[in-house]
Chains A and B, each alone.
Chain A
Amino acid sequence: MRFSVFKELVKQSFREFLIYRTTAILTVVFSIMFYLIEVITGIVYFSFTDRIFDWTRRDYMILITTANIIQMGYQFFFVASHEGLEEAVIEGDLDYSLIRPVNSFWFYAFNRLDIPSVIGIIVSVIFQCYFFSSMKLSFFNVMMYSFGIILGIWFLFLVNQNIVMLSFWLEKSGKLIGIPEYIFEMVSRPQSIYPNKMVLILTYILPFFVSVNYPIDALHGKFSLSGTVMYILYLLVLTFITYNIWNKGLQKYASSN
């Protein structure tokens, strides 16, 4: 997809954001609230204990804030397309997206930006800076952390994209769309609280834990080059698979009237 098309999509999203003023304001207010709920929950957890296994209160806060930035980043770029895909497939509303001379995968993926999510990202970043302030961090570590966040957003996009693409084959698969969200909520808690087998599956098969913990490891300089390469390779392969499933899904797509 050409950059000029993406630019136009961004402009449209912004215009829509300005039209949906009340929705936008409410979304901003509540998305900040959502993050604060996570923080309050953390405070409650740590009012009963100083450490949850090897996790201190600060580690926990950094973890949930990182997860929130990834979640909000995903929401900013992709959630609008994903929310609409299931309905578009069933109602046959994909028709016009398919007859345009642009790559339908990218065109649909970046079809709308959820502008209010930016505020959620900014609030989380401010909190994160506060938590970082008591740590000694190098510029390189912060860059690697940011890179990890981008990879996390991309991973979340791919997983969600695969789930919503099931609607090409399954009638009314609406509830499935919630699965990645639930798993992501799960991995935004310290991984040491979960059984080993579960951690292994969510690290090596579906690397949800990696998506949230990699940026934090990078921040602490605890990441390995081979691990990074493996993670990037995994994402590349998943991108390739997702792209092909999209094309297969389009073949299956029988638009209704």
Chain B
Amino acid sequence: MKKYFLTFMNRLMTTIVYRFDFVCGLALTAFNVMISVFVWNAIYKTSTIDSFRGYSFKDMVVYLVLTNISSMVFSFDICFRIGNMIRTGQFSTYLFRPINVLYDSFFDYLGRCFISILIFIGTVFIYDLYSGIGIFDFLLTLSYFFLCIFLWFQIASIISLLGFRVIQMWPLKPILRGVYMLFAGMYFPISFLPSGFSRIIAYNPFGMIGCNLSEVVMGKYIQSKVLTLNIYLVLCIIVLNLIYRVLYKKALKLYEGMGA
């Protein structure tokens, strides 16, 4: 376990060393929120209705802030780490050393987003304090958030397996971000989509970690529903883990290392 803890610490320290990257990431997230707030401000001002599907303008601002901060935790960087290692042949080190790829990647991911996790928990804590939400709800929200981290890691791990088949992973970066934006509800809550479509994608994995997470924090669901969502997340994690194991075995056969 110690070796994985070192992976976590090394990645965390690297994040701190490249402080400029981190501060820029924060600023860009704030910028993203600002754009969405301006757009929704204009829509609310020009529309005759004060509340859209249960969202007042103030709710919308909180929603956008939470969704954007959580998106810092759920970044696609981990997908490209494995892809890069495969391309350069560094992935071989996983094959001849007693290291589990999945565990090592997980701790690397935790180190990478540890500060963002703290920021998100801090924001939730302040929001709950301000809104008078009880400790049980706060803990339930946290458990939902941590399960989201596991879920996201499983999703990203499966995407990273594309690195075995796709030589150049970087063109996928903006595109994956786009998919995340829509299906996680970065621009607006999923319920704003036409009802048929929103019902289909309501419980998609991206939505669970984006839109649903923010709505759980905002107290839009009753406790029993949050508990049900927690169970649903656990099931998703198990299924995705099984899918990952099958795909990893198949993908590994495609790995050729580097050079002849």
Interface flags for B176-197 (1: CB within 8 Å of A; 0: not) read 1011011000011000111000
- A49 lies within 8 A of B43 (CB): yes
* Residues of A with C-beta under 8 A to B41: 193
Number of interface residues of A (CB under 8 A): 42
* Residues of B with C-beta under 8 A to A23: 166-169, 171-172
- A52 lies within 8 A of B167 (CB): no
Stretch at the interface among A40-48, A94-102, A230-238: A40-48
* Residues of B with C-beta under 8 A to A48: 43, 47, 49, 52
- B20 lies within 8 A of A51 (CB): no
- How many angstroms between the C-alpha atoms of A114 and B174 in the bound complex? 14
- B20 lies within 8 A of A26 (CB): no
- B43 lies within 8 A of A52 (CB): yes
Shortest C-beta distance, B226 to chain A (Å), equals 26
- How many angstroms between the C-alpha atoms of A193 and B39 in the bound complex? 6
- B166 lies within 8 A of A22 (CB): yes
Shortest C-beta distance, A85 to chain B (Å), equals 13
Stretch at the interface among A30-38, A121-129, A133-141, A240-248: A30-38
* Residues of B with C-beta under 8 A to A83: 170
Is A227 an interface position by the 8 A CB rule?
no
Task: Say whether, besides A37-B182, A170-B20, A175-B28, A19 and B35 are in contact (CB < 8 Å).
Answer: no
- B187 lies within 8 A of A41 (CB): yes
Contact size range, B: 35 or more
- How many angstroms between the C-alpha atoms of A149 and B36 in the bound complex? 25
The residue that B175 contacts in the complex, of A30, A51, A181, with Cβ under 8 A, is A30
- Closest chain A residue to B176 by CB distance? A30
Is A176 an interface position by the 8 A CB rule?
yes
- Closest chain A residue to B34 by CB distance? A186
Is B224 an interface position by the 8 A CB rule?
no
Number of A-B pairs, beta carbon distance below 8 Å: 108
Shortest C-beta distance, B43 to chain A (Å), equals 6
- A178 lies within 8 A of B21 (CB): no
- How many angstroms between the C-alpha atoms of A30 and B169 in the bound complex? 13
* Residues of A with C-beta under 8 A to B182: 37, 40-41
Is A173 an interface position by the 8 A CB rule?
yes
Is A194 an interface position by the 8 A CB rule?
yes
- How many angstroms between the C-alpha atoms of A22 and B168 in the bound complex? 9
- A189 lies within 8 A of B35 (CB): yes
18 contacting pairs across A/B (C-beta < 8 A):
A19-B167, A23-B167, A23-B168, A26-B171, A33-B178, A34-B174, A48-B49, A48-B52, A51-B46, A53-B42, A170-B20, A171-B20, A172-B21, A173-B20, A174-B18, A175-B20, A190-B42, A193-B39
Q: Which residues of B contact A (CB under 8 A)?
A: 18, 20-22, 24-25, 28, 31-32, 35, 38-39, 41-43, 46-47, 49, 52, 162, 165-172, 174-176, 178-179, 181-182, 187-188, 192-194
Q: Which residues of A contact B (CB under 8 A)?
A: 19-20, 22-23, 26-27, 30-31, 33-34, 37, 40-41, 44-45, 47-49, 51-53, 83, 114, 116, 170-176, 178-179, 181-182, 185-186, 189-190, 192-194
Closest 6 CB pairs of A and B: A30-B175, A175-B24, A193-B42, A34-B178, A49-B47, A172-B18
